[in-house]
Amino acid sequence: MSTNFNGLFWALLLFGTGSFAQESIPLKKLLEIAQDNYPSIQAAKLRTQAAISNARASEQTLIPDITASYQANYSTYNNLTGMFYPEFVLPVSGPPSMDNSSEMVFGSAASLLLKWEAFTFGRRANAIKAAKSHVGEKTGELDLTTFKHQVNLTDTYLNFLLANEVLKSLQSNLERSKINYEQSVRLAQNGLIAGVDTARFQSAFSNAKIQTLNQKRRLHELKNQLQLYIASELPEDLSDENFFRSLPGFDMDTPVFDHPKAQLAQSEWQTAQYQYKTSQKRGMPSLSLWGTVNGRGSGVEIDANGNLFVEDVVRGFDINRFNYGIGLQLSIPITQQFRYHSKSKVLKYQADALEEEFKEIRLELKQQQNTADSTLQTAILVARELPTQYKNAQFSYAALKTQYASGLVNFTELAEAQHELVATEINHRKAFLEVWKALLYKAAVYGNLEIFLNELNK
């Protein structure tokens, strides 16, 4: 069952926070450390903050653009006012001079220019809604990233606990093998058993050592994986006997939560809808309001005959002529309509595709929730059978060990009993962990880790 369930767990767990309970639970501490440290979670938090800032920026497009500027220049003056750079100053051109001159003169200009796109016929409103929906999308990514990492971390922690229990069983088996080997040496020396049994017991003792060493390596690998998942040093004590003392309950009336993956898919669909609506409005007119106040300074003067001359070179820095104005501008895209229409169709198809993906995710979650309930129920029934098998294996081994010392059974029967004992002991612990893994799988497909942690706190 273990192999089949693990394959099912990772094949279906494509998704992937809740409140946690007692401070004494090592798993809770690991989850807290990981949430504060793990890079992918921190990156998702930063992307969410970026989306929030972008939404604020989109709202600020309601504020008019007001630009203040000042410029000083040195140029020819073959018109009445000379030259100036017109970026922030609405240009005013005086009459041309009678003749061209290469003489240059100072000039200056200052302005305050307002521009406000007052009416966009829904384009700006939908752009703001799309930006806000994008915040929900990035929040969903954060929730999903956090949730998946919590599930992976919890699963690895359960594997670590099981590996530690298996190591204990193998160490007990190693001690039994050592005792059997030492006993066989004494019995062989006294002529009570054949010498070949001693060699076979020694071989079994060596094999038990190898199994123990390999299990220690496995435990070390899982500790390294846990350390990677929390991106920090591991706490000293990672043991938790609660997982092996009792089994979690089975509740058929589990409340249905919005899974983080479903929430993300819904947010992506909503964002795409607003982007499509915004693109539809691109062909609408724009009505802008502008206003300006500007002043000019020029070193150019004109005599009674209309001739230009320069009396004071620095007078161009003295702003002495002022203008102001206000107006409306209506702009209507014409030939762009064809391009806008084609781009809108692209966004419409993309939004419809995301809607279908959202529906598919909900269907998959429903099917997986049914599978999770069945898997948990089966795991509980299996785990309840193992304690009896374990007790029987203990009794059989103890009886056969006594009979072997009396010469009533042979080596093979005792070795089989020892193998059955260690296998049953390991399966007993595995069965308990399989129930907790099944509960974790249920929490994963329901989208709420509290389903798992609440049972641990009972």
CA distances (Å), origin 321, targets 66, 88, 192, 433: 21, 16, 126, 87
356 with 410, same domain: the answer is yes
Ramachandran region, residue 298 (left: φ > 0; alpha: ψ -120 to 50; beta: rest): beta
CB 117 within 8 A of CB 124: yes
pLDDT of residue 441: 95
406 with 300, same domain: the answer is no
Using 50, 70 and 90 to split pLDDT, how confident is the model at 7? very low
Both tokens of 77, joined, read 């003056």
Amino acid making up residue 318 = D
User: What's 200's domain CATH number?
Assistant: 1.20.1600.10
76 with 223, same domain: the answer is no
Please report whether residue 297 resides in a domain.
yes
55 with 162, same domain: the answer is yes
Q: Where are the alpha helices (DSSP H) in 101-194?
A: 123-189
113 with 10, same domain: the answer is no
Residue 425 has pLDDT above 80, yes or no: yes
CB 41 within 8 A of CB 142: yes
- Round the average pLDDT of the chain to a whole number and report it: 83
Both tokens of 5, joined, read 């369930």
**% pLDDT > 70, the chain:** 83
325 with 344, same domain: the answer is no
pLDDT of 122-134, one tens digit each? 888 888 989 999 9
Structural domain count, the chain: 2
144 with 262, same domain: the answer is yes
Burial of 100 (0-12, 13-18, 19+ CB in 10 A): exposed
pLDDT of residue 78: 56
**Chosen domain end from 338, 361, 376:** 338
Residue 207 has pLDDT above 90, yes or no: yes
CB 112 within 8 A of CB 294: yes
180 with 138, same domain: the answer is yes
38 with 148, same domain: the answer is yes
Any idea which of 18-22, 298-302, 439-443 has the lowest mean pLDDT? 18-22
More confident: 253 or 46: 46
CB 257 within 8 A of CB 302: no
Amino acid making up residue 163 = A
pLDDT of residue 221: 96
Please report whether residue 279 resides in a domain.
no
Residue 210 has pLDDT above 50, yes or no: yes
Please report whether residue 135 resides in a domain.
yes
143 with 183, same domain: the answer is yes
Distance CA 160, CA 166 (A): 10
142 with 245, same domain: the answer is yes
Query: Which domain, by its residues, includes 96?
Result: 63-123+284-338
Provide mean pLDDT across the span 243-264: 79
pLDDT of 320-375, one tens digit each? 778 888 888 888 888 888 888 888 999 999 999 999 999 999 999 999 998 998 99
Please report whether residue 86 resides in a domain.
yes
Please report whether residue 351 resides in a domain.
yes
48 with 79, same domain: the answer is no
Helix 336-405 and helix 2-12: axis angle, to 10°? 170
